[in-house]
Chains A and B, each alone.
Chain A
C-alpha cells in the first residue's frame, strides 16, 4: 500500500532523509521511531506530497505522492505533528470545512459526532480558546472522521493525557480491525507496541532497521538499576556472569534475557541499597538504536 524506494531529500543545512526504503502492506500498521530531528516528519511530508523528493519514489496505492498529490489525498487521512488551525473558527466549523473539502459525505458527519463523544470534545468551542490537548483531539477527529484507507499520523498522542492516549489507542485498534493501513511516527513506545506490526527506526536521516514487534518480543529483555553497599559487592556481581552495563562506583545496570534466577541468587549475597526496574522492554531495545 505504502512504498518508499531509494528516497532522498536533503535540506540546505544538511538535514533530511537518505536512501529510505520500506513498504507497508495494506491493512498493516507501521511505527516510525527516532529521536528529534531524525527525519520522521520529513518522511511524512514526502508521503503527503508537501515536499518533492530529490530522488527516489514515494507511492501510496501506486499513486505517486508528489506528481499526483491531490489524487493521493482521496485515500489518505493525515494528522500533522504541529497542529495549527484557523483560530477564529469553532471546532464544528473547522470539521465542516474539512468534511466539505473531502466531498461532504453524510457518513463523515456521523463519524465526527461519534469521535467527538468518544474523545469528549465540545465542538462548539472556538479553536483559539482550546488547550493543546483539545486541539490534538480536534486533529484526531478531523483525521479519523474521514474513514480513509490509509492513516498517516505524526506523533498523534502528544498533548493528550494518559486516559485519552488509551482512548486513542482503542480507536486506532478499531480502525485496524476495519482493514486500515497505518503509518505512525511516535515517541510513545506504548502506542507503537500496542498498535503496530512493524517498526522502523530512523536516526540522522537513515533507516537503521525495520523489525517486527513480535521479533522484538522474542528477544525482549529487562533492565534493572542496582546500587550496592560497596565496590567489593559490585565486583562480586561482576563475577556472577550477569550482563552488567553502565558500571559506576557502587551501581550498575543489569540486563536479563529469559530466566531471572541467576540475578536473584546473586542479589541474596549482597546488600542492595536500591533496586529499580528501568523502562519498558521494547523501549530499552529501541534505546540501543537511539544512542
Chain B
C-alpha cells in the first residue's frame, strides 16, 4: 500500500463519500423520527401483518418474521434493500473509477511510471475501495445509534455492530469482484456491465427464491442469501459463519485480481 497514493485517491472520492454518508444519516434520522409514531399506531402493524409473504420477501422481510419491532421496521425500510443496493452501486462505481476508468483514460500511466509496483498500486486502490465502504458502514451504524438514542428507541447495540461487520464483508466482496472485472477486462464499460450484471443476477435470484417454495433453492445461489438483517438484529441468527465465508471469497478474488493485473497488457 502506498500512503501518498492512498491519500490522493481518497481525496478524489471524499466528496462522494461525504454526500452518500449525509444521505444515509438523514434517512436514518427520518426513520428513527417517524418510528415512535408508527409503533403507537396499531393500524400500521395490522397492515404489515396483512401483507402477503411473497410481497414481504420483495422488501427483504423474512417469512414468519415479526413486523411489530424496530428491527423489522428498519430492516424492511432500509437495510434489506435500499442499503444493499446503495452500497453495491457505490462499490461497483468506485471500483471502476479506481481502476478500469484510469486504464481507459490512461491516467494510470503516470502512476505506473513510478517505481511503485503494479501490485502495490492495486493494493492501494483496493485499500481506498474497502476504506470508503467501511466509512459508509460506520456512518450507517453510528447514525442509527444516534437516531435511536435521540428518539428513545431501545436496541441491542451488539447486534447492530454484527450487522455492520457482515455488511462490510458483503460489500467488500462486491467491491473486490468489481475490481477483479476491472483488472481482467481493463475496459470501463465492460467492467461495469459485468459487475452490475452479476450483482443484479444475485439480487434477482434472492427475490425469485423468496417468492415461492418451489424456487426457494434459487436463494442458495445468491450472495444476498448471507445477508438477512432482521434475523441478525433480532439476534436469531449468528452471522460469524457468513462473515468468515464472505471474507474467504474476498481473499480468493483479491489473489486473482492481483495476479491478473500483474500480467495484463496495459495500452496506456
A→B interface (CB under 8 Å): 45, 48-52, 69-71, 73-74, 76-78, 80, 82-86, 88-89, 93-94, 96-98, 100-104, 139, 142
What is the interface size of chain B, counting residues whose CB is below 8 A from a CB of the partner? 26
Q: List A contacts of B115 (CB < 8 A).
A: 70-71, 73-74, 101-103
A123 to B43, CA, bound (A): 64
B8–A93 touching, CB < 8 Å = yes
For residue B116, which residue of chain A has the nearest CB? A101
Least CB distance, B32 to chain A, in whole angstroms: 34
A222 to B169, CA, bound (A): 71
B265–A50 touching, CB < 8 Å = yes
B109–A100 touching, CB < 8 Å = no
Q: List A contacts of B12 (CB < 8 A).
A: 86, 88-89
Once A88-B11, A89-B8, A93-B8 are accepted as A-B contacts, the answer to whether A51 and B110 lie under 8 Å apart by CB is: no
For residue A78, which residue of chain B has the nearest CB? B113
Whether B4 sits at the interface, judged by CB under 8 Å, is yes
Whether B200 sits at the interface, judged by CB under 8 Å, is no
Choice from A51, A73, A77 contacting B265 with Cβ under 8 Å: A51
Q: List B contacts of A84 (CB < 8 A).
A: 105-107, 109
A-B contact count (CB 8 A): 82
For residue A46, which residue of chain B has the nearest CB? B265
Q: List B contacts of A93 (CB < 8 A).
A: 8, 11
Q: List A contacts of B118 (CB < 8 A).
A: 69-70
Q: List A contacts of B34 (CB < 8 A).
A: none
B11–A89 touching, CB < 8 Å = yes
A94 to B12, CA, bound (A): 11
B117–A85 touching, CB < 8 Å = no
Least CB distance, B10 to chain A, in whole angstroms: 11
For residue A89, which residue of chain B has the nearest CB? B8
Q: List A contacts of B263 (CB < 8 A).
A: 52
Q: List B contacts of A83 (CB < 8 A).
A: 106
Choice from A45, A69, A74, A98 contacting B268 with Cβ under 8 Å: A45
A178 to B8, CA, bound (A): 33
Choice from B4, B107, B114, B117 contacting A86 with Cβ under 8 Å: B107
Q: List B contacts of A101 (CB < 8 A).
A: 2, 4-5, 111, 114-116
B117–A80 touching, CB < 8 Å = no
A82 to B2, CA, bound (A): 25
For residue B263, which residue of chain A has the nearest CB? A52
For residue B12, which residue of chain A has the nearest CB? A88
Instruction: Please name the 7 residue pairs, one residue from A and one from B, whose CB atoms are nearest each other, closest first.
Output: A100-B4, A78-B113, A101-B114, A70-B117, A84-B107, A73-B115, A50-B266
Q: List B contacts of A50 (CB < 8 A).
A: 109, 112, 265-268
For residue B266, which residue of chain A has the nearest CB? A50
Q: List B contacts of A103 (CB < 8 A).
A: 115
